[in-house]
């Protein structure tokens, strides 16, 4: 009798403990399989616990009536593959894993969730094809798979998703033609973006049935061929149709939504003709319509006759002798006026005692300076002439020098600008540093300065110049960086005034610099603590280290300079002196760029105050063009000027051969790198798109450059 009683007691205990051990419902266990299949570095799923009754309180999970309806975990650096079990959630309506690091194929079982209404997976690394089972998602309204590595053709079954409103597949490797019935069946579409793929064949004529489309219909950067269907004119007139960089031929239809469009919607299709293009429709249209991966390749066009070539070369020679003489006279007058103005301010404001004794770097100074004296022509100065003996603030534990050592070191002037003076400082042990002197005023904003500079000091990346320490006093603000030895990218591309010998950098080094800069920007944009914006990217602040490694400098400098700004009188005095100095060195590439305007600035910067990451993408694109063409961001064309982006677009429209665009230093040496050059040119043109939302992210620019390097190995 005792044994049956013990067995019954054991069963009762097990039944009473079962709810405590296995309390989580089936949907919770499905989600836990997802958690266990990936890496979650930011702890986004830290509260996904098996001890809960259900997953409805978990981060990223939305339920209705205790049933999972939505999974949304964007921008959390999730790394891994999607498990097939997610498709077994019976009431799943929304899936959003955008901007993570998920990879692998799209699981077939995910398309068993027949009630799914939105599937957003853009900005990951998914590969493979879209499963044919997509037709089971009959309630699907949003499908965004952009910025991945998906390939293959678009399954014909997608036309059965008749409730689809948003279809975004841009920046993948899709191939093949669009399915039959694409326009006739997907009549609910409001947004369509197929750009930056390898779709081919003709554009379906039934796309004119998509009467609900809004914004931009983007078919750009594919291999669509044949004529533009006149039925596209039936789309709403407010719709912008982007057909750039395909292999389309024939006349541009002039009806409905296609009327009164500028040439920018059609560039990159050498076979198109008629308004609004400069290429009239005629007998030579067919000869110009051969498909091409880029609109101006050497084999696309016959060699130009000598007469035409001579006219082009004369155009590029620059200004006439009379114009040059006029400019020289004007510059001389300007220099004289600036010199007089500077002398006046110098005598009024800088009544410096010329008889004070000097004893090298140990010279005594007043606690507060009454004025700032300029020694513009000195190649070497004592840094201690410009700072007070206050504390140096290190920003990491690798700073093993103090202020006294810094002040005793020799300091060579590297450059001067409106933001301040940059020195190369060599310590007694031979370590070289770069020290930027910001200003003399701003004594009331120390806390603000401290917050900014310490945030910048936390950034650590091999392609960003490291800020090691800073110094603040009422009269002086110094920033101490690692010294980067090989000058700037601007000098590497264009040379430097006063240097006769100029060895241009090879294409392989240029490609390395492009990738390094992209890595640094991608870090700032997506992986730094605050997802920063540089805001002033240009070749002069891309420095080149050992083995030509790119280092982005001057990040956050504008903000710090604003906080540390000097008094108006002293500041105006400094500006007058620096303008005179710049005039005297007018052959400098950087000064020439400044005089011609900032060609690296995105078009929308004129309308908006707050910089965005897309500004940096545009600036990066201009830099790529500059490295490819060897030209400044403002191009001299005859007696007029145009920005480099505009000049490239005109070259595309005029179907100029690649040799007319390529830097002459690269033309012979890198003839076997033509495909790489064209691929980078495509990336650059995507970056300088006039529409910010169409520009790629820096992470995807870097992915494209990495794929380019792999394919060329």
DSSP assignment letter at 91: T
Neighbours of 196 (CB within 10 A): 25
- How many residues comprise the chain? 713
Give per-residue burial for 360-372: e unless 16+ CB within 10 Å, then b. eeeeeeeeebeeb
**Dihedral angle of Cα 652, 653, 654, 659, to the nearest 10 degrees:** 0
Among 58, 208, 245, which Cα is nearest to 678's?
Answer: 245
8 A C-beta contact, residue 573 and residue 450 = no
8 A C-beta contact, residue 251 and residue 271 = no
If DSSP codes are grouped into helix, strand and coil, which group holds residue 627?
Answer: helix
Distances (CA, A) of 400 to 58, 394, 408: 47, 9, 15
536 is catalytic: yes
Question: Which residue bears the tokens 């039925």?
Answer: 231
Give dist(CA 178, CA 201) in Å, integer.
8
Among 700, 687, 685, 708, which Cα is nearest to 295's?
Answer: 685
Neighbours of 156 (CB within 10 A): 15
Residues whose CB falls within 8 Å of the CB of residue 558, separated by 6 or more in sequence, listed in order: 419, 535, 536
> Residue 662: CA atoms inside 13 Å, Cβ hemisphere, count?
23
Q: Where are the alpha helices (DSSP H) in 161-317?
A: 182-185, 306-316
Burial of 233 (0-12, 13-18, 19+ CB in 10 A): middle
8 A C-beta contact, residue 132 and residue 157 = yes
DSSP assignment letter at 246: S
DSSP assignment letter at 249: E
Give dist(CA 603, CA 617) in Å, integer.
12
Outline where DSSP puts E strands in 237-348: 240-242, 247-251, 271-273
8 A C-beta contact, residue 663 and residue 492 = no
Peptide bond before residue 276 is cis, with ω within 30 degrees of 0: yes
Give dist(CA 354, CA 406) in Å, integer.
26
Give dist(CA 470, CA 556) in Å, integer.
14
Give dist(CA 708, CA 679) in Å, integer.
8
Among 129, 73, 144, 133, which Cα is nearest to 109's?
Answer: 133
Give dist(CA 212, CA 165) in Å, integer.
9
Catalytic pick among 242, 475, 536, 703 = 536
If DSSP codes are grouped into helix, strand and coil, which group holds residue 171?
Answer: coil
Query: Which residues participate in catalysis according to the annotation?
Result: 536
């Amino acid at each position: 009798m005792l044994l049956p009683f013990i067995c019954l007691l054991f069963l009762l205990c097990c039944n009473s403990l079962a709810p405590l051990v296995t309390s989580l419902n089936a949907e919770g266990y499905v989600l836990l399989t997802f958690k266990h299949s990936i890496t979650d570095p930011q702890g986004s799923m830290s509260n996904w616990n098996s001890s809960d009754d259900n997953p409805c309180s978990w981060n990223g999970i939305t339920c209705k009536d205790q049933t999972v309806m939505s999974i949304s975990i964007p921008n959390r650096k999730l790394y891994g593959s999607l498990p097939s079990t997610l498709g077994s959630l019976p009431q799943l309506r929304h899936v959003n894993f955008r901007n993570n690091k998920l990879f692998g194929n799209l699981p077939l079982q995910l398309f068993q969730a027949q009630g799914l209404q939105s599937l957003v997976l853009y900005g990951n690394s998914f590969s493979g094809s879209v499963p044919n089972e997509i037709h089971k998602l009959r309630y699907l309204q949003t499908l965004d798979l952009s910025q991945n590595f998906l390939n293959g053709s678009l399954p014909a079954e997608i036309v059965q998703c008749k409730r689809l409103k948003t279809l975004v597949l841009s920046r993948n490797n899709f191939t093949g033609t669009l399915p039959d019935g694409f326009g006739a069946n997907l009549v609910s579409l409001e947004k369509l973006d197929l750009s930056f793929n390898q779709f081919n064949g003709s554009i379906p004529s039934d796309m004119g049935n998509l009467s609900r489309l809004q914004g931009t219909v983007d078919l750009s950067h594919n291999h669509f061929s044949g004529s533009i269907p006149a039925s596209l004119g039936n789309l709403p007139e407010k719709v912008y149709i982007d057909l750039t960089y395909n292999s389309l031929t024939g006349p541009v239809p002039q009806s409905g939504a296609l009327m009164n469009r500028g040439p920018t919607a059609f560039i990159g299709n050498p076979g198109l003709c008629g308004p609004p293009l400069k290429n009239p429709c005629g007998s030579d249209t067919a000869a110009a319509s051969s498909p091409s991966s880029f609109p101006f390749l050497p084999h696309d066009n016959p060699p130009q006759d000598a007469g035409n070539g001579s006219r082009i070369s004369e155009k590029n020679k620059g200004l006439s002798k009379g114009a040059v003489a006029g400019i020289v006279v004007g510059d001389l007058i300007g220099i004289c006026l600036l010199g007089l103005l500077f002398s006046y301010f110098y005598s009024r404001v800088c009544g410096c005692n010329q008889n004070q004794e000097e004893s090298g770097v140990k010279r005594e100074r007043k606690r507060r300076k009454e004025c700032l004296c300029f020694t513009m022509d000195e190649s070497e100065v004592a840094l201690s002439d410009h700072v007070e003996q206050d504390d140096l603030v290190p920003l990491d534990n690798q700073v093993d020098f103090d202020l006294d050592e810094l002040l005793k070191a020799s300091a060579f002037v590297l450059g001067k600008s409106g933001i301040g003076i940059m020195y190369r400082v060599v310590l007694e042990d031979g370590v070289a540093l770069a020290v930027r002197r910001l200003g003399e005023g701003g004594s009331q904003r120390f806390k603000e300065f401290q917050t900014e500079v310490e945030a910048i000091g936390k950034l650590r990346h091999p392609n960003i110049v490291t800020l090691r320490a800073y110094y603040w006093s009422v009269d002086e603000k110094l920033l101490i960086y690692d010294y980067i030895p090989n000058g700037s990218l601007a000098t590497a591309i264009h040379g430097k005034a006063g240097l006769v010998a100029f060895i241009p950098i090879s294409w392989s080094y240029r490609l390395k610099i492009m990738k390094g800069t992209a890595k640094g920007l991608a870090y700032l944009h997506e992986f730094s603590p605050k997802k920063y914006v540089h805001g002033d990217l240009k070749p002069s602040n891309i420095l080149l280290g050992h083995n030509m490694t790119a280092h982005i400098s001057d990040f956050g400098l504008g903000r710090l300079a604003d906080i540390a700004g000097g008094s108006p009188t002293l500041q105006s005095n400094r500006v007058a002196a620096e303008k005179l100095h710049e005039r005297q060195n007018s052959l400098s590439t950087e000064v020439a760029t400044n005089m011609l305007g900032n060609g690296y600035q995105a078009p929308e910067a004129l309308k908006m105050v707050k910089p965005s990451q897309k500004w940096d993408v545009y600036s990066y694109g201009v830099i790529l063009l500059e490295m490819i063409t060897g030209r400044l961001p403002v191009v001299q064309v005859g007696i007029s000027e145009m920005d480099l982006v505009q000049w490239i677009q005109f070259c595309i429209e005029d179907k100029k051969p690649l040799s007319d665009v390529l830097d002459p230093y690269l033309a012979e040496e890198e003839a076997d790198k033509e495909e790489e050059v064209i691929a980078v040119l495509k990336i650059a043109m995507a970056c300088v798109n006039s529409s910010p939302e169409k520009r790629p992210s820096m992470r995807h620019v870097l992915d494209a450059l990495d794929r380019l390097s792999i394919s060329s190995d």
